[in-house]
Structure 1
């Protein structure tokens, strides 16, 4: 089970999807993966930065494209300074 966390002014939104079941052809899981990818693309289009996190002891890796094989993706909105 993979998850994507979207940080925003509303808090921390979590999207969970099962890549293994999607690969096996489960229609609901396929929809969930596609929805996660859509959310990711929309956030990136608004300037958000995304990181792939695979384990607590590993450094996060910045990503520009949705990676359904990531254990966890964290999406951080663009921060504007002033």
Structure 2
């Protein structure tokens, strides 16, 4: 299972996809991954920072969407004021 988490004032929004179903081009899994990638790119364009989170490994900052990641967390740009 893969998951994209987008942090916000409301908590976090989540999009998940089944990696095994992606391998067989399941339409629902393909639609979920396209939506996750669209959101990832949109949020990155707004200045969000992305991190790949894998159990047993350190957190890794990423610049491009990784459909093989177990979890990607997007943190919006912090603006002072």
Both proteins in one fold, TM over 0.5: yes
TM-score, normalised to structure 1, is 0.92
Aligned equivalent of 1:14: 14
In the superposition, the TM-score normalised over structure 2's length comes to 0.93
Mapped to 2, the partners of 1:80 and 1:32 lie a distance apart of 30
CA contact (8 A) 1:17 1:33 kept: yes
Runs of 4+ residues over 6 Å off in structure 1:
none
Q: Deviations over 1:14-66 (max 9, x none)?
A: 111112201211111111111100010000010000000011x3210000000
Report SS of the residue matched to 2:65. Answer: coil
Task: Give the aligned length.
Answer: 81
Aligned mates of 1:69, 1:47 — CA distance in 2: 23
- Structure 1 residue 71: Cα displacement: 0.6
CA–CA distance in 2 between the matches of 1:59 and 1:81? 28
